[in-house]
Structure 1
Amino acid sequence: MPETIEDVTYRHQDWYAEELVDRHFVRCEFFHVDLTEAVSQGAVFTECVFGNVAFNASRHIDSAFTRCVFKRCNLFEAEFTGCKLVGSSFDQCDLRPLRIDGGDWSFVAMPGADLRGVRVTDARMREVNLTGADLTGATVTGVDLSGAQLHAAKLVRADLRGSDLTALDPTAVERAGAIVDAEQAIVLAQALGFEIR
């Protein structure tokens, strides 16, 4: 069983290239912690707060960050593979170029986030809040976006193929050059009131 660390505050710590394997943090706070090139595998963070934390080039595999708050964190070139971030929020974070492969990011709040060119594949992002987010040139393929809040999002030149776009109002987003497949085109046409025959 992984050891559980509860209610601890970490400040100004250097965890560069640290390996966080099977560790469980509950309600812990991390301020100005350097997690550059750190690797987490099977780690669990529950209701933790990350403030001004550097996640640059960090790799996270099958880890969970549930109901966590990320504020002014740098996730430059961070990668999340098969991770669970249900109910977490990102505020004033540098999220480019982020890579998300698989996992569950449902109920995550990223309103107004700069997500230009990020890569999200085969993830579940049900009811994610991307209101006003900039996904220009992003790859968002095979993603479950059912119930997502996408009002005023920029999807210019974004590759959206294979994703669930049932929650998307095509008139409420910037969408020039966005790429969809034939099945999605039918969903979007129906959203606009067209009848497909």
Structure 2
Amino acid sequence: MPHRGITVTNADELAGLLRNDASFVECTFDGGSFAELSVDTLDLTDCSLQKADFSQLVCGELHVSRCDLRRADFYRADIKESHFTDSNCASARFPNAKLNLSRLIDCDFSLCSFDGASLFGADLTGSRFRAVSFGTANIDGATVDRVSFVMASVAHKSFRKQRLTGVDFSEADLSGCDFTDAVFEDCRIENTIVSPETSFTGADLRGARLSNLRLDIARSRGVVI
């Protein structure tokens, strides 16, 4: 039976509970210290983890659904192939975290830190990354359908040959981004920052709403508008 409606405050307490069941429903982890915890499975539903410290967490199967993770800390967490769904992760920290092949679906990651994180092959469908600076994060091969990058910095990231559907790049920093041969469908590119290294070469922008896009600055040979 899943643990229901309890408060958990530290790693030792959580480890003890996990010996009975890995599922937690409507539980509270707010402000708890769970740093360097290593577990096989952790399943959280309708839980609150505000300001919880999960730095350097190692978890083989992490499932988070409809949870509140505002300002939680996942610094250097190894949570590859994890599932985050319908959760509020605003201002949480994921620097240097391993999120390869994870599913981050319909979540709010506004103002989060992802510098140095690996999101290689992750599915980010429907999530919001408002005002996020991805820095040196690796988002190669990520699925970004219906993602909001409003006011985010995705500088020097590659979207080469991708079909981008419902993506909002409004006011984003696209310096050095590679959109070569990308196809935009129902996207917004308004008041963005571009640089001479930004490439729209061969891109199909007919499905994008454009405003103040300085294609004269970016590489735009063969672009279709």
Q: Which bin holds the TM-score, normalised by the shorter protein?
A: 0.7 to 0.9
Contact 1:92 1:113 (8 Å CA) reproduced? no
C-alpha deviation, 1:118, in angstroms: 4.3
1:22 equivalent in structure 2: 66
The whole-number CA distance in structure 1 between the counterparts of 2:98 and 2:205 is 29
The whole-number CA distance in structure 1 between the counterparts of 2:148 and 2:104 is 13
The superposition leaves residues 16-74 of structure 1 with CA deviations (integer Å, 9 ceiling, x where unpaired) of 33211011112122122122211111111111121111221111221110111111111
- Residue 225 of structure 2 is aligned to residue 174 of structure 1: no
Contact 1:39 1:60 (8 Å CA) reproduced? yes
Q: Secondary structure at the match of 1:19?
A: strand
The whole-number CA distance in structure 2 between the counterparts of 1:149 and 1:155 is 13
- Residue 174 of structure 2 is aligned to residue 160 of structure 1: no
Contact 1:27 1:48 (8 Å CA) reproduced? yes
The whole-number CA distance in structure 2 between the counterparts of 1:159 and 1:73 is 30
Q: How does 1:33-182 map to 2 (within 5 A)?
A: 33-152=77-196, 153-178=198-223, 180=224
Q: Secondary structure at the match of 2:89?
A: strand
1:187 equivalent in structure 2: none
The superposition leaves residues 150-189 of structure 1 with CA deviations (integer Å, 9 ceiling, x where unpaired) of 23211223333311222212210112233x2xxx3xxxxx
Q: Secondary structure at the match of 2:134?
A: strand
Aligned residue among 44, 56, 68 for 1:12: 56
The whole-number CA distance in structure 1 between the counterparts of 2:158 and 2:126 is 22
Q: Secondary structure at the match of 2:60?
A: coil
The whole-number CA distance in structure 2 between the counterparts of 1:54 and 1:137 is 29
Cα gap change, 1:103/1:135 in structure 2, threshold over 3 Å: closer, same or farther? closer
Q: Which residues of structure 1 form unaligned runs of 5+?
A: 185-197
Q: TM-score, normalised by structure 2?
A: 0.72
C-alpha deviation, 1:119, in angstroms: 4.3
Cα gap change, 1:144/1:63 in structure 2, threshold over 3 Å: closer, same or farther? same
**Count of aligned residue pairs for this structure pair:** 180
Q: TM-score, normalised by structure 1?
A: 0.82
Contact 1:78 1:97 (8 Å CA) reproduced? yes
Contact 1:99 1:118 (8 Å CA) reproduced? no
Highest CA radius of gyration, 1 or 2? 2
Q: Secondary structure at the match of 1:163?
A: strand
Give the alignment's Cα RMSD to 1 decimal.
1.9
